[in-house]
Structure 1
Amino acid sequence: MPETIRAVDIKGGTGPADSLFITSIPKPVPAAAQALVKIKAFGLNRMDLFQREGHYPLPPQAGKILGVEFSGIIEGVGEDPEKGFKVGDEVFGLAYGGAYAEYIAVSTHMLVHKPKELSWEECAGIPETWITATQALYLIGCYTPGKSVLWHAGASSVSIAGIQLSLGDSPSAVFATARQDSKCEFITNTLGATAAFNTSTQDWPAEVLKATNGKGVDVIIDFVGASYFQGNLDAIARDGVIVTLGMLGGTVLPAGVDISAFVWKRARFEGSSLRSRDEEYQGKLRDTLVEHALPRFVDGRFKVFVEKVFPWEEVVEAHRLMEANKTMGKIICRVE
């Protein structure tokens, strides 16, 4: 009889937060370049909510178990692991799925050695959010020093990472939006952004243009979609790039949207995702994270903001907290 481990499953396959429960599944076996990692902590992401509800198209590599980022200790390796990873190493990493569990089999190409300066909980909050922000800012947004950036949903974990990345690379200005004054204050006072605009009470495209003397911003990172589409075109600078990573504000454009800015501003609009990318693509982003960001985590210039840590037995409450949209940092579950 195969050895089993505990993992979080969903009653009926999809459902609300209270459909999550801990069950037994076969213990994964590492193959080829994989490692078997005993998980110490895993991070929650909004895609987990969509997957739980049955609204997230899974890549073929992902199984039914939720979770894409984790920290832990390598307990075993396949026959051809990446050089530098061995049994006993403390690591954190990115997976296609399966992190809501006691163990995960994951490619060593997506692992990073855990610095002693960071906790298990902090490391579990890095991979998905910081790699997504890196991809959006540099690979898709084509950011270079001296440009300006606007991060929507500025208190979300990806934007918290992205704002820090932007500020660490000589921008002309870094702006953000949020829907609560407390989040705007966090973005400016704690993260150090140039300005943050409350989209519930302010005409944010007009505020962006005012703050940039009418020029607009060079790069916009958006998670909202249809309801911000016109505002993004109004706020983008000439030759700017609008990167869309989510559709929280819908997918159907309202009547009257004016797309002329695509021509007279020479604006580029591009959508992207990370989880659907192949391992080679993700591995290059991991290398960028290690080279560019990891030293700044170690010396304190970059920070992982953790909103709350739950025992993983309280994963239902963790999902409910994420659904409330009140957090300013990562939600982490600790696996005892």
Structure 2
Amino acid sequence: MKALQGVEGQLEWRAEPSPVCDVGQVRIRVAAAGLNRADLLQRSGLYPPPPGASQTLGLECSGVISEVGAGSAWQVGDRVCSLLAGGGMAEEVVVDASHVLPVPEGVSLIEAAALPEVYATAWLNLFQLAGLKPGEKVLLHAGASGVGSAAIQLCKAFGNPCWVSVGSAERLAYCEGLGAQGGALRGESLDSLRDFAPFDVILDPVGAGYAELNLQLLARDGRWVNIGLMGGSKAQLDMALLLGKRIQLIGSTLRNRDDQFKADLLADLAQHVWPLFGEGRLKPQLEQAFAAKDADAAFVALASNQVSGKLVLVIDESLA
């Protein structure tokens, strides 16, 4: 099978052996794969896959099940999407059957490739780890990103007013169109976020660059969930403020979680989140789909930080 890998900072389609489909697994003929910042980092050699995971890029995909291992309730021909530790940007992938979700009602296979990673990330960090309760206020840094787009919609669906920080007025308007109450632009002062504070939960992929501000903006008993280091990894914190406000600082990653953790997370998504697509309360935010031959252009677009929502790479146009 053909598989896309990062080789010395470049993208390269390679011929790889087809993986074996074992007990409790399913084989998916891949229609499309979502792009994530982790793919950029892996291509550059900065984020190797967890031990035992595929070297092929791609943390999520959609497609059609072509083989079912013993012990799985899935059927050949089922239209699905899947959360992966790697391997999505290939003609086929074999995955634990419990890491697969049905394509939601009213969603195309191409759109479905943009769902698993961002909705799993947003649900895990806002509702499971931060324990977000109805009515609590949320600040989403990088609000127009794939995770941010999913998080805004989830906040709206579950009764949580949210605000964002973004890179442009256009992206702020995009977030407000999804349900955000307002926000601030990175190119200007983020101090205007104080007008909306205090926040009960902050979801932050930036890290050190926003550390001091986050402490100031959080309410007493606030939860700051850090999911990335786009703004650096080292910061000075006012521990007296952290202590006095009883703030919880939570570091969170998803890719290197164990199989059971991911299975439980996806089961929670299937119960609480996936039905909302059929009700029209959640929608895929797909900005652009690229053909497999245009993988380089897709990665350039992702690296520009100008994407509102998600990008996907179409692997098999006949399934689209």
- Asked whether 1:6 is paired with 2:2, we answer yes
Which one of the candidate residues 186, 190, 211 is aligned to 2:174? Answer: 186
Q: How does 1:1-336 map to 2 (within 5 A)?
A: 5-11=1-7, 14-15=8-9, 19-81=10-72, 83=73, 85-171=74-160, 173-188=161-176, 190-202=177-189, 204=190, 206-212=191-197, 216-253=198-235, 257-336=237-316
Shift of 1:57: 4.2
Q: Please tell me the residue identity of whatever aligns with 2:233.
A: T
Preserved contact between residue 150 and residue 176 of structure 1 (Cα < 8 Å): yes
Partner Cα separation in structure 2 for residue 323 and residue 116 of structure 1: 31
Q: Please tell me the residue identity of whatever aligns with 1:74.
A: I
Runs of 4 or more above 3 Å deviation: none
Q: Which runs of 5+ in 1 are unaligned?
A: none
Shift of 1:324: 0.6
Q: Please tell me the residue identity of whatever aligns with 1:184.
A: L
Shift of 1:116: 4.5
Partner Cα separation in structure 2 for residue 250 and residue 283 of structure 1: 31
Shift of 1:120: 0.8
Q: Please tell me the residue identity of whatever aligns with 2:304.
A: A
Q: Please tell me the residue identity of whatever aligns with 2:205.
A: F
User: SS of the residue aligned with 2:250?
Assistant: strand
Shift of 1:328: 0.1
Partner Cα separation in structure 2 for residue 27 and residue 78 of structure 1: 15
Partner Cα separation in structure 1 for residue 48 and residue 4 of structure 2: 19
Partner Cα separation in structure 1 for residue 56 and residue 251 of structure 2: 26
Q: Structure 2-normalised TM-score? A: 0.96
Q: Structure 1-normalised TM-score? A: 0.91
Partner Cα separation in structure 2 for residue 175 and residue 24 of structure 1: 45
After superposition, give the CA deviation of every residue in 1:293-322 in whole Å (9 maximum; x if it has no partner): 211112211011111101112111100100
Residues 201/97 of structure 1: CA separation in 2 closer, same or farther (3 Å cut): same
Partner Cα separation in structure 2 for residue 77 and residue 130 of structure 1: 25
Shift of 1:55: 0.9
Count of residue pairs the alignment pairs up: 316
Q: Please tell me the residue identity of whatever aligns with 2:120.
A: I
Preserved contact between residue 40 and residue 73 of structure 1 (Cα < 8 Å): yes
Preserved contact between residue 49 and residue 86 of structure 2 (Cα < 8 Å): no
